[in-house]
């Protein structure tokens, strides 16, 4: 669920930090900040998803007047709050009636909260958020502050980067901002506790901010007791932080890929649920074989979206299922078989993820001495090795081992291990090969285009089983 947006306009970053901290402690808004009226106009030209505009009069009377004129000319039907406008302006400006609320700076945060409550009601059906954003400038105002601090990863999860015993200082501001971390998060109980101290000293805090003087506040004991409900990881050091940020970014990219696939193949929530159940069934079957269970643990241990084997398997499960659905091959046994094959087809390469990226003998040849003789042997023999392992599994679906054996063959007969051409390959092998190639196409190009793949598929595949699938791919709603 998207949070309602507020446009906040002002030139003093520290004052905006303070206002944002108060609003996000007390409400559930997303705040979009601007320092220039030109940027505001540009934003309003393409966005209508905001519910309130708040502008600091200290941006300058001319800019403030232009903001009001733009607001009026565009006939924007949302409240407009003015912060710190002079009495003369309130009485004489021709567009003053556009302003819904004039809020002074003597008690700015509490008065602003009261004005917001006047225009917006709290949706009590929405679960209160556990963490609250806080700017570095707010944190460094408090001398001796010791509290756990978090960042929010692109996936929405939170990551602890400061422990309660750590001291926060100005050096941390530049250190973390240089790494793209502009906002930290506090537990909501702590943010209310700090905000209470700020509001007790609000006049001097705002005066110092607007005079470019340091704000120095003392924490008022006792600190509230905090119990974090969300399962939160911790960054052990800067290197670990950057690693986790990269992992989360890759995971977010992978989530976007899954979302795009869902739209193209019209995958419903019900189908997603069915797929999850079939993945669970396949995993249970693998876990009963000790050797394969160990390899499966290696596949599942990392959350890193850049873990090729794991992301590769997840996309294969989805795409083989999606292709079966557009082909109207929706029998449970068929889907379960392809999900099983998706998990097992490269299982012996879990220790060699760089080998799992290789798709053909030609790619292997081009890598030359980068791949050792032993690794070449592992790669070229893995379809046959895995087939033998699957044949010994009592719960393996019928023909699953043969699809695995054939998954590196191709229509032209230049694949391996046997060089079989299209007419020797099983119909579900055709599904798997096309899905496998599509996964590689997607992973190799962040800007992948399904229409481009469909055209390439027309040139790459031949034979009745392949041609049927290609024709269906061309009927999709291609982006």
pTM beyond 0.75: the answer is no
Q: Residue 133 and residue 317: Cα distance in Å, rounded?
A: 37
Task: Give the CATH number of the domain where residue 154 resides.
Answer: 3.40.50.2300
Q: Are residues 232 and 280 in the same domain?
A: no
Structure tokens at 117: 């409550």
Q: Are residues 227 and 356 in the same domain?
A: no
Among 209, 238, 267, the domain boundary falls at 238
Q: Are residues 109 and 86 in the same domain?
A: yes
Q: Are residues 181 and 322 in the same domain?
A: no
Q: Residue 252 and residue 267: Cα distance in Å, rounded?
A: 19
Q: Is residue 478 part of a domain?
A: no
Domain extent, residue 391, equals 248-473
Instruction: Find, among 346, 343, 339, the residue nearest to 383 by Cα.
Output: 346
- pLDDT (tens place) for every residue of the chain, 479 residues total: 467 899 999 999 999 999 999 999 999 899 999 998 889 989 988 988 999 999 999 999 999 988 888 888 888 899 999 999 999 998 888 888 889 999 999 999 999 999 999 999 876 666 678 999 998 889 889 988 888 989 888 788 888 888 877 766 666 656 666 666 667 899 999 999 999 999 999 999 999 999 999 999 998 888 898 888 887 888 878 788 888 888 888 888 889 999 999 999 999 999 999 888 988 888 888 888 887 777 777 655 443 434 566 788 999 999 999 999 999 999 999 999 999 999 999 999 988 888 988 999 999 999 999 999 999 999 999 999 999 999 998 889 999 999 999 999 999 999 999 999 999 999 999 999 999 999 999 999 988 999 999 999 999 999 999 999 999 999 887 65
Q: Is residue 16 part of a domain?
A: yes
Please count the other Cβ atoms lying within 10 Å of the Cβ belonging to residue 286. 22
Q: Are residues 256 and 329 in the same domain?
A: yes
Taking a C-beta distance cutoff of 8 angstroms, is the pair 261, 322 a contact?
yes
Q: Is residue 243 part of a domain?
A: no
Q: Are residues 270 and 143 in the same domain?
A: no
User: Phi, psi (5° rounding) for residue 216?
Assistant: -125, 120
Q: Are residues 226 and 262 in the same domain?
A: no
Taking a C-beta distance cutoff of 8 angstroms, is the pair 103, 22 a contact?
no
Number of domains observed in the structure of the chain: 2
Q: Is residue 108 part of a domain?
A: yes
Q: Is residue 479 part of a domain?
A: no
Q: 294 exposed, middle or buried (CB, 10 Å; 0-12, 13-18, 19+)?
A: exposed
Q: Are residues 421 and 394 in the same domain?
A: yes
Q: Are residues 255 and 355 in the same domain?
A: yes
Q: Residue 347 and residue 353: Cα distance in Å, rounded?
A: 10
Q: Is residue 76 part of a domain?
A: yes
Q: Is residue 225 part of a domain?
A: yes
Q: Are residues 184 and 206 in the same domain?
A: yes
Among 187, 208, 238, the domain boundary falls at 238
Q: Are residues 252 and 224 in the same domain?
A: no
Among 191, 210, 238, the domain boundary falls at 238
Q: Are residues 71 and 24 in the same domain?
A: yes
Task: Give the CATH number of the domain where residue 275 resides.
Answer: 1.10.3210.10
Please count the other Cβ atoms lying within 10 Å of the Cβ belonging to residue 444. 9
Q: Is residue 336 part of a domain?
A: yes
């Amino acid at each position: 669920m998207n949070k309602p947006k507020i446009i906040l306009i002002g030139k003093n970053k520290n004052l905006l930090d303070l206002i944002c901290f108060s609003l996000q402690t007390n409400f559930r808004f997303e705040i979009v900040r601007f320092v220039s009226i030109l940027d505001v106009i540009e934003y309003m030209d393409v966005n209508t998803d905001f519910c309130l505009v708040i502008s600091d009069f200290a941006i300058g009377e001319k800019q403030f007047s232009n903001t009001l004129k733009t607001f009026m000319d565009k006939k924007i039907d949302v409240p407009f709050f003015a912060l710190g406008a002079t009495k003369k302006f309130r009485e004489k400006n021709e567009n003053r009636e556009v302003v819904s609320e004039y809020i002074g700076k003597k008690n700015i945060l509490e008065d602003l909260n009261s004005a917001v409550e006047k225009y917006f009601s709290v949706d009590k059906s929405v679960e209160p958020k556990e963490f609250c954003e806080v700017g570095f400038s707010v944190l460094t105002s408090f001398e001796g502050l010791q509290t756990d601090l978090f960042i929010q990863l692109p996936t929405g999860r939170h990551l602890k980067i400061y422990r309660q015993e750590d001291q926060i200082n100005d050096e941390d501001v530049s250190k973390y901002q240089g790494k793209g971390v502009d906002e930290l998060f506090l537990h909501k109980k702590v943010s209310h506790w700090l905000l209470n101290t700020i509001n007790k000293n609000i006049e001097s805090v705002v005066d110092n901010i607007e005079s470019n003087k340091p704000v120095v506040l003392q924490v008022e004991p006792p600190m509230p007791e905090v119990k974090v409900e969300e399962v939160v990881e911790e960054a052990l050091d800067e290197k670990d932080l950057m690693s986790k940020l990269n992992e989360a970014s890759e995971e977010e990219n992978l989530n976007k890929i899954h979302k795009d696939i869902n739209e193209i193949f019209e995958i419903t929530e019900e189908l997603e649920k069915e797929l999850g159940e079939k993945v669970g069934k396949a995993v249970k079957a693998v876990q009963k074989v000790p050797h394969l269970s160990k390899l499966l643990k290696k596949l599942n241990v990392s959350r890193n979206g850049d873990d090729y084997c794991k992301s590769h398997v997840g996309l294969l499960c989805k795409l083989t299922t999606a292709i079966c659905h557009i082909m109207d091959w929706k029998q449970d046994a068929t889907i379960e078989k392809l999900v099983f094959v998706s998990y097992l087809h490269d299982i012996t390469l879990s220790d060699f993820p760089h080998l799992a990226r290789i798709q053909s003998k030609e790619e292997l040849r081009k890598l030359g001495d980068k791949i050792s003789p032993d690794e070449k042997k592992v790669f070229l023999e893995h379809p046959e090795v895995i087939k033998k392992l699957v044949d010994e599994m009592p719960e393996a679906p019928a023909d699953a081992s043969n699809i695995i054996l054939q998954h590196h063959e191709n229509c032209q007969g230049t694949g391996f291990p046997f060089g079989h051409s299209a007419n020797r390959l099983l119909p579900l092998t055709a599904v798997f090969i096309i899905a496998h190639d599509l996964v590689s196409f997607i992973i190799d190009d962040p800007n992948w285009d399904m229409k481009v793949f469909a055209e390439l598929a027309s040139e790459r595949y031949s034979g009745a089983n392949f041609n049927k699938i290609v024709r269906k791919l061309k009927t999709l709603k291609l982006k």
